[in-house]
Amino acid sequence: MKMRLLYAVPVFLLLFLNSCTSDSPEETPVLEAENVITIEQDLLNIVNQHRLTLNTNALEFSNIAYKYANIHTDYMIAKGSISHDNFSSRATNINSEVEVEMVAENVAKDYQSAIEAFQGWYTSSSHRKTMEGDFTHTGISVKKDNSGNFYFTQLFYKQ
């Protein structure tokens, strides 16, 4: 009887442990919010109009910059706050798709229009310096979170 019990215990443990699953937790996916294209276009026009008043070139729209601006805007929405987290990765990724001399970005949250976002960046010397900088291309992502808050990412690069 003891022999049967000795064999039964390991078999029982083996069956019990195999029935318990311990899947590794998956990373929470960053959901893609919908772009607010009218604000994106308006903001690009406002920034370019401002640059032209300074006798600086207008920025060309870049699908590459737009792609990485969208990814970062989704990241900020998932995080619930604005940031420049992982900027060096964005710059490296852009440079891997198109050879660039330099990359910069502006981010913002909670402005309700393109002009408000522009004014917020304009009144900040570091953001204004970026907007007025020696860049050739840009991509602007504007998205709204589930609470109605707008998030903005503008990436700039010089080719």
Q: What pLDDT shows up at residue 24?
A: 35
In SS3 terms, the chain reads as CHHHHHHHHHHHHHHHHHHCCCCCCCCCCCCCCCECHHHHHHHHHHHHHHHHHCCCCCCEECHHHHHHHHHHHHHHHHHCCCCCCCHHHHHHHHHHHCCCCEEEEEEEECCCCHHHHHHHHHCCHHHHHHHCCCCCEEEEEEEECCCCCEEEEEEEEEC
Domain positions in the chain = 37-158
Task: Please state the rounded mean pLDDT for residues 80-108.
Answer: 97
Given this model, what pLDDT does residue 30 score? Answer: 54
Which among 102, 118, 105 has a CA at the least distance from the CA of 53?
118
Of 36, 99, 101, 42, residue with least CA distance to 69:
36
Tokens of 20: 């318990």
The architecture of the domain spanning 37-158 is 3-Layer(aba) Sandwich (3.40)
Contact predicate 152/81, CB 8 Å: no
Question: Residue 10 above 70 pLDDT?
Answer: no
pLDDT digits (tens, 9 = 90+) for 101-156: 999 999 999 999 999 999 999 999 999 999 999 999 999 999 999 999 999 999 99
pLDDT (0 to 100) of residue 2 = 46
Of residues 145 and 3, more confidently modeled: 145
What confidence category does residue 5 fall into, taking pLDDT thresholds of 50, 70 and 90? very low
Higher pLDDT, 25 or 105: 105
CB 135 within 8 A of CB 143: no
